[in-house]
Chain A
């Protein structure tokens, strides 16, 4: 079946512009996660959606970052007034169940969006 998809795959923008990144999770997955991976580094948690619960936004680095999710489907990550330090690969993942369950909640990752801020 289809995996997690993300668009665009690459985005080059100028400093100060707003960007919107899209994630289509696997159908039926209730949980969705956004991460940021800077060059040569590990993944930095940004935000977590679980069903209709309030999202966990504790990883968002500043108020320039925001994310929305429509029900249990598409999510968009918006970065306003982009800065050069925002350059990174933004990865989205989804899992069948959320972190609160006792069952496995393996995350399935999308291919990422490579954002370059000039």
Chain B
């Protein structure tokens, strides 16, 4: 049983477009984290979401949390090439499979 499910696994999008990455979790903890990993590098924390309805925004990325649905989303607005990376959602210490994002000029 997967504790954290993330989709899509792969995402190729053009610059300037919007898209949403989804993360469902099944543990009893409602703390949800988003991390970014660049190829060959370690992980960098993006967002920490602690309560129902929490919304955090940083630049072109916005993360939200719905604890009733056990769902978090990472929304990308007007994508740029620098956002190309793998994004992981994390619940407790369970990681999603990651979404490999490629932004095409």
Chain A residues close to B by CB (< 8 Å): 33, 35, 41-45, 48, 59, 91, 93, 99, 102, 104-112
Contacts and interface: CB of A to CB of B under 8 A. Distances in A.
A5 to B, nearest CB: 11
B42 A111 contact: yes
Contact of A42 (B42, B44, B50, B96): B96
Contacts of A104: 48, 50
Interface in B12-37: 29, 31, 33, 35
Interface stretch (B57-65, B66-74, B75-83, B87-95): B87-95
A106 B46 CA distance: 9
A108 B46 CA distance: 11
Contacts of A111: 41-42
Given A33-B93, A99-B93, A106-B33, A43 B88 contact: yes
B52 to A, nearest CB: 14
B43 A109 contact: yes
Given A42-B98, A43-B88, A108 B93 contact: no
Given A99-B92, A107-B33, A109-B35, 5 more contacts: A35-B93, A42-B88, A45-B95, A48-B93, A112-B42
- Grouping DSSP codes into helix (H, G, I), strand (E, B) and loop, the A interface class, with mixed when no group exceeds half, is loop
A36 B98 CA distance: 14
B29 A42 contact: no
CB-based closest 7 A-B pairs: A43-B95, A109-B43, A109-B42, A45-B93, A42-B97, A42-B95, A106-B45
B42 A91 contact: yes
A110 B42 CA distance: 7
22 contacts: A41-B98, A42-B88, A42-B96, A42-B97, A42-B98, A43-B95, A45-B95, A48-B93, A59-B93, A91-B42, A93-B43, A99-B92, A104-B50, A106-B33, A107-B33, A107-B45, A109-B43, A109-B44, A110-B42, A111-B41, A111-B42, A112-B42
